[in-house]
Amino acid sequence: MGELKGVELRTSIKKMIIDTLNIEDITPDDIADDLILFGGENTLGLDSIDAIELVMAVQRDFKVRIDDQNLAREVLKDVNSIADFIESKSE
């Protein structure tokens, strides 16, 4: 995907989430950068199966490795944390 940064990177992450999880009736603009992805109220409501799919998609699409479950939990907190991780690995 090249060297995406900032807003472009966050939009790409949101599109990847929507496409990977086949979420309907939602656009990248509907997902706030700091919206918690997993859990109950006021989150995107993703679950552990979604987490596995997202880890694989992030690794495939952005050419980074997430090889630790605790790291994955931190990285997949929200769009900002995913973007920060990708940016830290591409420096």
Residue 53 is encoded by which pair of tokens? 């799919």
Cα angle 84-57-38, degrees, rounded to a multiple of 5: 65
**Structural domains for the chain:** 6-89 (1.10.1200.10)
**Considering the entire predicted model, what is its pTM?**
0.91
Question: What pLDDT is stored for residue 90 in this prediction?
Answer: 79
Which residues, listed in sequence order, are joined to residue 46 by a DSSP beta bridge? 38
Query: Which amino acid, 84?
Result: D
Has residue 1 got a pLDDT over 60? no
Picking from 6-15, 24-33, 37-46, which range would have the lowest pLDDT averaged per residue?
Answer: 37-46
Q: 57-88 burial string, b = 16+ CB within 10 Å, else e?
A: bbeebbebebeeeeebeebbbbbebbbebbbe
Has residue 42 got a pLDDT over 90? no
The stretch 58-68 carries a mean pLDDT of: 95
Q: CA–CA separation, 5 vs 32, rounded Å?
A: 17
